[in-house]
Structure 1
Amino acid sequence: MVAWLLELPRAYKRLISVLLDIIFLVLSVVVAFVLTQNGERSSVSEITAAFLITLPVTLYIFVRLGLYRAVIRYIGQHALGAVLIGICSSAALLSGLFVLFDVHEKTNLIIVYSLIALVTSGGLRLLARMLLTQGNNTSKVPVLIYGAGSSGRQLAQALMNGEQYHPVMFVDDDLTLQRSTILGITVGSPDQIGSIIKSKQVGRVLLAMPSATRARRREVLEKLEDLPIPVLSIPGMSDLVNGSMRIDELQDVKIEDLLGRDPVAPRAELMNANIAGKAVMVTGAGGSIGSELCRQILQCKPNVLVLFELSEFALYAIEQELSAHVRDFNLETQIVPVMGSVQRSNRLESVMRSFSIKTVYHAAAYKHVPLVEYNVAEGVRNNVFGTWYTADAAIKAGVETFVLISTDKAVRPTNVMGASKRLAELVLQSLADRQSRTRFCMVRFGNVLGSSGSVVPLFREQIRNGGPITVTHKDIIRYFMTIPEAAQLVIQAGAMGKGGDVFVLDMGEPVKIAELAKRMVHLMGLEIKDEQHPDGDIEILFTGLRPGEKLYEELLVGDNVRATGHPRIMAADEAYLDWPQMHHLLNRLDDCCERFAVEEIIELIRSAPTQFNYSCATSDLVVNAACAVETKAQMTALSSVENARHLTSVLKSVEGKQQIA
């Protein structure tokens, strides 16, 4: 019967609601008359007439207040307010009609009628909602909400009206909230989570702490890590405030919550120094770092923001995003999408001159370690010569500030990518020493969360696919930072540069990648599969270090580091070449790249002050393939010679036998 009613069209449901309200109101006045008149039958006709006039007015008020548009299972305060106003209006009208019809001493009847009508029309609706909700909860996943504050209450309310989760318990650290009831849900202590999960068959823990610091969230997650169920989180406060996400849009725990480091608020004077009211250009604007730099730069309101990018799709995506932001917030910044390669110096200079660029953030680079190992010449061309050509164009175009996005892999590099970035730093240091027209500085930092090639999304995808998780080495460690924090620090460091500065960002504590993988598995409610747990869910597979990969990364070449005016930014003093030496090295390197002479490229990089420790064999795919082809040709030629010699000996043998015969 209930299922049949729920499947009826909306118009039929409204008609049934109207009919039920008529029945409730009629019953209310009849019961009130019986209870208050003590068997007297006086003024029955007058009371009936007054009620018949009141009834359609009451229904009209219900309609005007939207009572019949409310869905029973989601009925809330508005609908109950409509019932209250309708019944009060009905009682007032009935009282006035009694005066008009000369009906005396019927105050008790009106009061009892009002109370019974409220209970029937309002209370039965609440009862129906409760029954429907409870019936619907049987198909929902029971969840526990960590945090009984305003966000937790909003989440619980949203889940009650949803179709997926059913909140069965709150837990909160606030002792004043524990053992209380909120929205009909009991609040418990975090120490009870284990027993609550078992007793209430909880399938998820939902973290409702959007405004908590990362350190606090990390502390909570450490408590929840060993639970046998997944831990999900509501969006952050910024996403909720700007309306980009709803409170019930649950997501996996963010990796920055596991790291637990809170960013330092950016200093406005440093953020604006090289950007506000100026023409700014970002190379590699469509990449992970480049695109976030563009977002942060746009908030500082430059006059012009030039997006310089080689990838057509990446340029289109970031241009669309930034243009929409300019429209939405009525900014006056001109967004200029420019396609081009940093290996074309005339294109770079033309763009910088045309738009009177004052600040350049050079983020264009090949950064994927194995891919650069497989393509040595192109990696060096893009990272070293691309930086040189961009910097040279900046000098010729009168750019005031040039900031290179470098990497911790440039410190005592063991791979070509890191070595090429260290060479790029040396180029800028030499140019800074040669002239003073353009201020050059470099900013080094480690891995950024969510960047292209980051292990975090890879691990998450591998876990969802059932594993295994691939980690190169059980002892490998890395530094991590969020992309927004890295971009803000790059901008602030660039404002502090005086010429040739190498800035190093404070990356916090290093993270052991294998432990990070384990924590991600546990927080998704799964178990690591190993020798101690052969029946676990996800196995961690150690694949071995890739070509040029280090167990750990460093941020400084030497110990010459000094503090700056920012707590997360340090400056390093490191050796470099003067420009004649650097220029000579670049010319020789250019010749080697033209000839794809990979071994000579490696030796030239070693000859510079890079501390390049390249111990692996050449991995360049083209060189290896060419060697394979050459070797095969030599073998084929050798085989042909051997075959010819063998044939000659056979012919001679046959000829000798014929002469004997």
Structure 2
Amino acid sequence: MLTLISVLSRKQKSWIFLAVDLLLCPLALLFTFSVQTLPQSPFASFTALLPALPYVIAVTAGLSLWLGIPYVQLVAYERHAAGLTALVALATASAAALLDGVFGPGLPIGIYVVFGINYFLFMLSARAVLYRIVLAIYHRARPGCRVLIYGAGTTGTQLAQALKAHDEIDPVAFVDDNSSLQGMTLMGMPVFPPARIAEITSSREIKRVLLAMPSQSPPKQAQLTRRLQEMQLEVQVLPSFAQLIGEEALVDKLAPATPQSFLGRAARDVPLGAAGVSYQGRSVLVSGAGGSIGSELCRQVLACGPTRLVLYELSELALYTIHQELAGLGQDMGVEVVPVLGSVCDRRQMGMVLETHAVQVVLHAAAYKHVPLVETNPLPGLANNVLGAQALAQAADRAGVERFILISSDKAVRPASVMGASKRMAELVVQDLGSRSTGTVFATVRFGNVLGSSGSVVPLFQDQISRGGPVTVTDPNVKRYFMTIREAAHLVLQAGAEARGDEIFVLDMGEPVPILQLARQVIESAGYTVRDEDLPGGDIAIEITGLRPGEKLEEELTLSQELTTTRHAKIFCAREAGLSEIEVAAMLRALGQALNSNDEAAARQAITHWVEGYRQPEGDRRTS
């Protein structure tokens, strides 16, 4: 049967619809005579009007074709087509009434009014029956995908109405949180509570759920989607009306909250001013050039007008990305931008690069910085962060580089993590070289968390929010110092210009920010509410997960807490006691032996011995 329907052309189907309508005309007339009180029998009255019937049918056919009613598809037959059908029925009844005076038995005009109504209902009913028959044929020949509609409101019912005409999707039931709708039947389908989803989908062989709740917030939709997917159901979300008409594109153009908005203080604007001269006309190398800090340093240095900017990076993708961004700008400014792929631990390559490109300033931003990763992989972290810094610093000293600036972290102060300890050891190495070098100025820049950098907490929170939450905070009392990427880059470049040797520069970063407070700010800045005891119906929950290995509740900026001022009001200098040359050599020797023997316990013991304030986690206090 489906084959027969499929081979019919659109024109052939139209002629079938017209034939059905014309056949219904005498049937409706006979039915009308049957239900009315007439002077003679219904059949006698029908026979008396029979000579006029061809003219009535001709009027019906002509008007139907002119209005295009036979060409309206069954699936598209709706209010407008029904109105045209009513017009045809009215014209047919009027023609019958007029011709009754010529051929017929002279029946009352009211008889033909009832005939017009009956004919209209006959045509509507015929199309409804035909539609159901065709739909049943399609469903039997091509079993559709059985779906459950989540949401029995206006959007859900409109969706169900649209899907009723679909030959491949079969809506089976509604699910809705509104208890007043549960138990009702809408669009011929029952409405169930969400608690029965598993039962319904199993008993009715449903594999797909359509979310018809466009007014629901994205986080709640994401949460619901995850729960349904855990039940092995495919989930599809109906777009909102704003998305359908294109209005929601305006939302996409709104600027997201900037990292500075979460800073909790005014940004420290430390303009380079005369400091830019220290990089103008010089050959500058930035290690870790593809990272968050490194790439911003490259942009700021390029703006100073160096003769050459060497991008030194271990990651091929990161190096390609930053080189693509800066190469054209460098060419326009007459600056040679040189991409170099390599590791700072490669002493031979480092020496060759510094000499080949006559590097005068080194900004060392390359490091493994993610605390949990380095805690899990301590030996690679120590090798890169400590021995890499030593290799580059010594190569810079041998090559006669004018300035070497190490980028460190507040986690280096009395560290609780291997990452923090590795940065402190790098600081000690640079301090030692700075105290002995006669040609190169060595200095360290120490700052806190950088908002918006890769792996930082704000992008993590935003990603968790986009997935519907929860937002995870390790401890309700944890606090961190924050700064923007722009602040960090300016601080490094100012230090590079102002350093006289052996300094540790820090930025006035205000008071540390509670991470719990920051999480709430990020959630609210995204337009959502925090789900907690005070607001159980909120959008996003905050989950406390516990401190990770190597994390502290609060960080510090200096060992002594004593800072001296510099020429810039927001930049301070911490002169902290370092290790002697012999002690630094002993520290590096112990660390090198641990790395060569792949002995994590020995590496941690070396850290414990040489890094002030570091204490091994209980599980790692092993003897080598």
TM-score, L = length of structure 1:
0.55
Residue 266 of structure 2 corresponds to residue 261 of structure 1: yes
Q: How does 1:170-569 map to 2 (within 5 A)?
A: 249-259=253-263, 260-273=265-278, 275-327=279-331, 330-569=332-571
Q: Which amino acid is 2:416 matched to? A: T
Residues of 2 paired with 1:505 and 1:429: CA distance?
19
Distance in structure 2 (CA, Å) of the matches to 1:540 and 1:305: 44
How far apart are residue 490 of structure 1 and its match?
Answer: 0.8
Task: Return the alpha-carbon distance in structure 1 between the equivalents of residues 270 and 602 of structure 2.
Answer: 46
Contact 2:371 2:551 in 1 (8 A): yes
Greater Rg, structure 1 or structure 2?
A: 2
* 502 and 265 in structure 1: CA distance in 2 versus 1, 3 angstrom threshold: closer
* Contact 1:280-1:357 at 8 Å conserved across structures: yes
The amino acid across from 2:255 in the alignment is Q
Distance 1:203 1:523, change over 3 A: farther
2:558 aligned counterpart, secondary structure: coil
> CA distance change for structure 1 residues 616 and 405 in 2, over 3 Å: closer, same or farther?
farther
CA deviation profile, 1:21-48 (whole Å, cap 9, x unmatched): xxxxxxxxxxxxxxxxxxxxxxxxxxxx
The alignment partner of 1:414 has SS state of coil
Change beyond 3 A, Cα 1:521–1:404 = same
**3-state SS of 1:413 partner:** coil
Q: What letter is aligned with 2:287?
A: T
* Structure 1 residue identity aligned to 2:280: A
CA distance in 2, matches of 1:459, 1:283: 28
- CA offsets 1:455-489 (integer angstroms, 9 cap, x no match): 11111121122110011111111111110121011
Q: Scaled by the length of structure 2, what TM-score is found?
A: 0.58
Q: Find the aligned partners of 1:395 and 1:522 in 2 and give their Cα distance.
A: 50
> d(CA) in 2 for partners of 1:258 and 1:605?
34
- CA 1:435 to 1:533, structure 2 compared with 1: closer, same or farther past 3 Å? same
Please say if residues 548 and 616 of structure 1, whose CA atoms lie closer than 8 Å, have aligned partners that are also in contact. Answer: no
Cα distance in 2 between the residues matched to 1:263 and 1:563: 15
- Secondary structure of 1:306's partner? strand
CA distance in 2, matches of 1:565, 1:486: 17
CA spacing shift, 1:421–1:249, aligned 2, 3 Å: same
Q: Counterparts of 2:267 and 2:380 in 1: how far apart (Å)?
A: 38
Q: CA deviation at 1:616?
A: 4.4
Q: How much has 1:609 moved relative to structure 2?
A: 4.4
Task: Report the CA distance shift for 1:266/1:247 in structure 2 as closer, same or farther (over 3 A).
Answer: farther
- Cα–Cα, structure 1 residues 466 and 425, in superposed 2: closer, same or farther, change >3 Å? same
C-alpha contact 2:393 2:430 (8 A) present in aligned 1: yes
Q: Partner of 2:606 in structure 1?
A: 604
**SS at 1:481 equivalent:** strand
**Residue identity opposite 2:266 in structure 1:** R
Cα deviation, 1:333-352, whole Å, max 9, x if unaligned, reads: 10000011111111000000
Distance 1:581 1:263 in 2: 37
Does the CA contact (< 8 Å) of 1:502 and 1:572 recur in 2?
A: yes
CA displacement, residues 379-427 of structure 1 (integer Å, 9 cap, x when unaligned):
1100000000000100111101000000000001000000000000000
1:272 maps to a residue whose letter is V
- Per the TM alignment, residue 247 of structure 1 is displaced from its structure 2 partner at its CA by 12
Structure 2 match to 1:19: none
Give the Cα separation in 2 of the matches to 1:437 and 1:616. 44
Q: Is the partner of 2:619 in helix, strand or coil?
A: coil
Q: How does 1:85-96 map to 2 (within 5 A)?
A: none
Alpha-carbon distance in 1 for matches of 2:285, 2:597 = 33
Gapped regions of structure 1 (runs ≥ 5): 1-201, 205-245, 628-661
Which blocks of at least 5 consecutive residues in structure 2 are unaligned?
1-214, 218-249
Cα deviation, residue 612, structure 1: 1.3
The DSSP-based 3-state class of the residue aligned with 2:620 is: coil
C-alpha separation between the residues in 2 aligned to 1:558 and 1:564?
Answer: 17
Structure 1: how far apart are the matches of 2:376 and 2:504?
A: 28
Partner Cα separation in structure 2 for residue 390 and residue 458 of structure 1: 32
Letter in 1 for 2:437: Q
Q: Give the secondary-structure state (helix, strand or coil) at the position aligned to 1:421.
A: helix
C-alpha contact 1:315 1:339 (8 A) present in aligned 2:
yes
Shift of 1:265: 4.1
**Counterpart residue type for residue 435 of structure 2:** D
Give how far 1:248 is off.
Answer: 8.9
